[in-house]
Amino acid sequence: MSKRTVTFGEIMLRLAPEGYYRFVQAGSYGATYGGGEANVAVSLANYGLDSSFVTKLPAHEIGQAGINSLRQFGVDTTDIVRGGKRVGIYFLEKGASQRPSKVIYDRAGSSIAEAVAEDFDWDAIFEGADWFHFTGITPALGDNVAEICLEACRKAKEKGVIVSCDLNYRNKLWSKEKAGKVMGELCKYVDVCIANEEDAGDVFGIKAADTDVTTGKVNHEGYKDVAKRLADRFGFQKVAITLRESLSANDNNWAGMIYSGGEYYFSKKYTMHIVDRVGGGDSFGAGLIYASLADMSAQESIEFAVAASCLKHSIEGDFNQVSVEEVKKLAGGDASGRVQR
């Protein structure tokens, strides 16, 4: 499939204690890279698409290591701007049983957070592009980055590029009020909206009835209403929502729904024993993008996206390192996990 995708955001250095050690126990940290839109770019490259990631990184070796982490999966890094002083960092403590995972950010003053509009030539970046993706994390980095996102969205629409956004609200980065105002403007340019159980409520005050994410209770009818209200408000062509029933930090039930053409489509539900849940939503978004570009039906698209994300929960690190064939096999019903010889 000859399609070109562009994602824009921040790639960060991820530092995590070994296994399930807590921060206060750790004597060393494993170092990998990840970040919402970078995770999507890697997934799409693994699916065989021409996948480009756009950001700003320092010219020193740590910035180069971030670029190398993308290149090894075939992501096009040509449009990454070099400059600034630091790579953003996030620390991850994996949860277990009833103890939740924890994330601590150390990203203030990163190169992308201090980027300016002149850093990015969106006319050139979108040349030949079919799809543009960003998340609500990126405009939360600062008013300057929000303006860059807005310019990217405007230019994408001028060029006929499909735009998708994962709302991805992060309360450690901005308030609900600020998120609602900024994302409300950006969503005017979005064709495909992606959210989880909480995002629509946090960002736009659109909540699912009879649902409590802290107890794992998910009401399908409530999410139908959320999807329709989002589409009606912004004119989205599609709204996709992940449905996570959190039984514990290690065990979740996982499904999704998509609202498209005035109809609702739900995937099958998977019971997952989690290895690493970071990047789970990004792998869902990437699966949906691939399925849409491959002209899959709405039902096939949501099955592919949920299966892709289910597999990501079994993989260490932010990146979803699976193939189209592996996803299709799970989506097709082979969830046994039996050894393949």
Catalytic residue flag (residue 232):
no
In a 3-state reduction of DSSP, which class is residue 145?
Answer: helix
Instruction: Give the DSSP letter of residue 212.
Output: B
Of 225, 221, 213, the residue nearest 169 (C-alpha): 213
Cα–Cα distance measured from residue 313 to residue 19, given in angstroms and rounded to the nearest whole number: 15
Cα–Cα distance measured from residue 90 to residue 327, given in angstroms and rounded to the nearest whole number: 29
Tokens 């890094």, located at residue: 77
Cβ–Cβ < 8 Å for 41, 70:
yes
Cβ–Cβ < 8 Å for 18, 145:
no
325, 329, 330, 331: CA torsion to nearest 10: 90
The residue length of the chain stands at: 341
Token readout for 155 is 């230019």
Of 292, 285, 227, the residue nearest 40 (C-alpha): 285
Strands 162-166 and 131-135 come out as parallel
Of 229, 232, 291, the residue nearest 256 (C-alpha): 291
Cβ–Cβ < 8 Å for 262, 247:
no
Cβ–Cβ < 8 Å for 188, 221:
no
Cβ–Cβ < 8 Å for 288, 240:
yes
The HSE-up count of residue 34 (CA atoms within 13 Å, CB side) is 27
Among candidate residues 166, 202, 282, 318, the one labeled active-site is 282
Active-site annotation, residues: 282
